[in-house]
Amino acid sequence: MYVDNVRNTISRLEQDEYEEYLKKLRSILMRKYSKNVKPSELKQRVDEFIGGKDPKIESFEAYLITFDELSTNGAMNALHNKKVKMPKTWRQLLLKVTEDRTLSPDVIKHLEEEEILIEIKALFYYSIEYCKSENKDKFFENLRHFNGFLKIALDKK
């Protein structure tokens, strides 16, 4: 039942969501399982899973981890055959990219100030806007350079 729910959830993804899912899944397989699978081979495996082939337990676990990394409660939603919402809003994007990070106590103590929250919000927004590009590779390069610039102060400590 639960395996079929995950199958259904993957099969209901829009094409762009499915491609994002495969990219994230490949990253998880490399990072957590030290498995380097070609994108075309990975797509074939996932398509076979959707078609009814039984997965290996670590593959199934990776499918669930992928849903969790792409969406809040993603794995639970997939297991219960609910729609998994891929990040499309600022809130979803920030939840997705910050769920494995914690803030230092020096920052947390200031987060009750509305003015500081407004500046943090502006920092996120303008950082992305500054780096944006229609070309994905250029966007990535801009983000990498911008992050490198921000890390300069950390390297001096």
Distance CA 148, CA 125 (A): 18
b/e map 71-98, b = 16+ CB within 10 Å: beebbebbbeeeebebbeeeeeeeebee
Distance CA 126, CA 22 (A): 29
Single pTM value for the model: 0.59
Question: Do the Cβ atoms of 72 and 66 come closer than 8 Å?
Answer: no
- What is the per-residue pLDDT across 144-154, written as a single tens digit (0 to 9) for each? 999 998 888 77
Distance CA 57, CA 90 (A): 34
Question: Do the Cβ atoms of 33 and 41 come closer than 8 Å?
Answer: no
- What is the per-residue pLDDT across 54-99, written as a single tens digit (0 to 9) for each? 999 999 999 999 998 888 789 999 999 998 877 666 766 777 677 6
